Amino acid sequence: MKAIVVHQYGGPEVLQYEDYPDPVPGEGEVLVKVAAASVNPIDYKRRAGLTQEFYPLHFPGLIGVDMSGTVVKTGPGVTGFAAGDRVFSMVDNTYAELCVAKAANLAKVPEGLDLVDAAALPLVTVTGNQLMAATGIKAGQTVLVAGAAGGVGRSAVFTAKDRGATVIAGILKRQMDEARMIGADRVAATDDDSAIANLAPLDAVADTVGRKTAELLIARIKPGGVYASVVGPPGNAAQYPAVKVATVFSHFDRGTLEWMAAAVRDGKLVIPISRKMPLSEAAAAHAVAEKGGSGKILLVP
């Protein structure tokens, strides 16, 4: 098969489009023909060697954690999946024409959802849902989602609204035009210190941004409230002992992914896709992604 192979840590140029041995499904595993993989920050952080302590690469190796595709065959002991099934998930080594996944870590793409577009959903929707779950937010409470214009942020907003909470979308001033697609009750510019200072006390913050913004937002949480983050605690968290701080590491959950994907299919949740690029152009895709911007980039074999 063709795959994006990494022989050393470095910039986008280390992503090489090469021949690589076809994976073989083992006990409880499924072989999938990849329809698309999406580019996530964890991919370029791993490529650059920034995750060596907890998620190293073994050279020559593959990267990628999101994929959608079609089942080619199943290994021994697999039930619930068969050749031809449309599937998607968070798995390893997805920048390739084929990948292997544990059947327990696969979900079926809902009918009516485009198979290629489905690759944009697993990591961001599951992470956003689990980030909001970590806040413990309840109906009638108010939560601010920092980085609400991103895929994780939009998914967190959707989850909070489903729980009956009042949601403030924390976005940049230049993203105001996107606010209507996010589904929040109100918006606040997180790059405007006065806007943050004028926020009424919050029950919780769900943060995908970190840095200075995090240090300002934790100060707006009521005593007994929760600050949940996918990027670690604020640097000044010790100054607010009455605020519970929760760091979230997402994990696959089939029910959550299928529920979030159905919401996307039905137009209740929008996860923008900015472009679709050939798998062979993964280096260019990483260069674009690392510059920032909204919308997922998909790599299509």
* Spatial separation of the C-alpha atoms in residues 49 and 91, rounded to whole Å: 19
pLDDT band for position 181 (cuts 50, 70, 90): confident
**55-60: long-range contacts, CB 8 A cutoff, minimum separation 24:** 57/6, 57/9, 59/6, 59/7, 59/8, 60/5, 60/6, 60/7, 60/20
pLDDT band for 179, please (50, 70, 90 cuts).
confident
Contact (CB, 8 A) for 123 and 90: yes
Tokens 């510019």 belong to which residue?
189
| Dihedral sign (CA 278, 281, 283, 286) | negative
CA distances from 137 to 122, 134, 205, 221 (A): 22, 8, 9, 13
Report helix angle 254-265 to 151-162, nearest 10.
90
Q: What is the pLDDT of residues 120-178, one digit of tens each?
A: 999 999 999 999 999 999 999 999 999 999 999 999 999 999 999 999 999 999 988 88
pLDDT recorded at residue 176: 85
For residue 180, pLDDT over 80 is answered with no
pLDDT of the residue at 110: 97
Percent of the chain with pLDDT over 70: 100
Distances (CA, A) of 4 to 9, 19, 78, 274, 296: 13, 9, 28, 21, 19
Which ranges in 98-170 belong to alpha helices (H)? Answer: 122-135, 151-162
Mean pLDDT over each residue of the chain, to the nearest integer: 97
* Confidence check: pLDDT of 293 > 80: no
Q: How far is the C-alpha of 71 from the C-alpha of 86, rounded, in Å?
A: 7
Q: What is the per-residue pLDDT for 31?
A: 98
Element at 179 (helix H, strand E): none
Of the candidates 80, 129, 127, the one whose C-alpha atom is nearest the C-alpha of residue 101 is 80
State how far the Cα of 178 lies from the Cα of 99, in Å rounded to an integer. 35
pLDDT at 60 over 90: yes
**pTM over the 0.85 mark:** yes
